[in-house]
């Protein structure tokens, strides 16, 4: 059985993310990528069909995606980071921001934190919200379905930024902040080291739900295939619970408030 080491769990708490290589097989990645090529309606052998810097695809439930999200490695990691049996198994994966080499720049490359529960306007994602207990969300996950190098538009991560977000959200109570309200506050955060989410196809980054991150355009010649699904909680977190009952996601929030 694959279990995370105490060093890996501590890295997640301290830095806000954990890179897991070979989280699913290259064969599964190949199958998923073939499906995604079809969904983009682009021709992998004809670059003239790659006319947009990013094509977004919603949730997909094909069997290869289910296999990718439910390997023993990942399920054990979910238990260890998000709380044993306090997460909802993935039957679908999404969304997929598929990025292409393009003369145009994408319009979705700003720093942000993914929201986790709806506001008053259910259809407007910018009005979705984030609160101090990370209502609804256990993890942000980055699934790499193609090899991703520095030239392939890897997601940029602000290391330890989840601590800064916790300090902002604790002031807002259960209501929290909307996606845009929080995004507008990120410019006042302290300067943080940046890491890039590179890796071979089959790599998964498990990220704290408060982690600040951003997309970037592809600078090389190959498209980047990834998914950025949420891992959802079965019951909401409670950072006021007894310390022995806290999972690493909750411990990281408290550490941010204490630092």
Query: Where residue 154 sits, what CATH number does that domain have?
Result: 2.60.120.620
Task: Using alpha carbons only, give the angle 110, 121, 237 rounded to the nearest 5 degrees.
Answer: 75
Q: How many residues does the chain have?
A: 259
Domain that holds residue 223: 6-258
104 in a structural domain: yes
CA distance 75 to 70: 6
Six-digit token pair at 26? Answer: 């290259």
pLDDT, position 122: 66
- Read off the pLDDT of each residue in 98-116 and give the average, rounded to a whole number: 93
User: Is 1 contained in some domain?
Assistant: no
Q: 92: how many CB neighbours lie within 10 A of its CB? A: 14
User: Which two tokens mark 54?
Assistant: 């990013």
Position 92 in a domain = yes
Q: Is the pTM of this model over 0.85?
A: yes
Per-residue model confidence (pLDDT) at position 1: 63
Question: How many folded domains does the chain comprise?
Answer: 1
Q: Is 80 in a helix, a strand, or coil?
A: helix
Residue 34: inside a domain, yes or no? yes
29 is a domain residue: yes
The mean pLDDT of 179-205, rounded to a whole number, is 96
224 assigned to some structural domain: yes
Among candidates 151, 64, 136, 138, which has minimal Cα distance to 99? 151
Q: Is 192 left (phi over 0), alpha (psi -120 to 50) or beta?
A: beta
pLDDT tens digit sequence for 137-153: 999 999 999 999 999 99
């Amino acid at each position: 059985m694959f279990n995370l080491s105490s060093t890996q769990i501590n890295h997640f708490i301290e830095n806000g993310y954990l890179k897991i290589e070979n989280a699913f097989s290259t064969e599964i990645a190949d199958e998923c990528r073939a499906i995604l090529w079809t969904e983009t309606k682009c021709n992998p052998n004809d670059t003239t069909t790659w006319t947009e810097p990013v094509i977004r695809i919603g949730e997909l439930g094909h069997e290869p995606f289910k296999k990718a999200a439910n390997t023993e490695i990942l399920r054990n990691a979910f238990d260890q980071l998000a709380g044993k049996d306090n997460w909802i198994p993935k039957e679908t994966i999404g969304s997929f921001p598929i990025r292409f080499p393009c003369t145009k720049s994408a319009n979705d490359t700003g720093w942000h934190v993914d929201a986790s529960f709806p506001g008053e306007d259910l259809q407007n994602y910018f009005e979705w919200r984030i609160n101090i207990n990370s209502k609804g969300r256990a993890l942000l996950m980055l699934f790499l379905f193609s090899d991703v190098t520095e030239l392939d538009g890897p997601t940029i991560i602000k290391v330890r930024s989840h601590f800064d977000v916790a300090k902002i959200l604790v002031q807002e109570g259960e209501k929290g902040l909307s996606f845009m309200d929080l995004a507008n506050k990120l410019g006042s955060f302290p300067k943080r080291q940046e890491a890039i989410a590179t890796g071979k196809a089959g790599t998964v980054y498990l990220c704290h739900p408060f982690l600040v991150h951003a997309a970037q355009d592809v600078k090389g010649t190959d498209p980047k295939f990834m998914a950025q699904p949420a891992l959802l909680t079965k019951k909401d977190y409670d950072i006021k619970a007894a310390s022995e009952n806290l999972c690493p996601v909750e411990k990281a929030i408290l550490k941010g408030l204490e630092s």
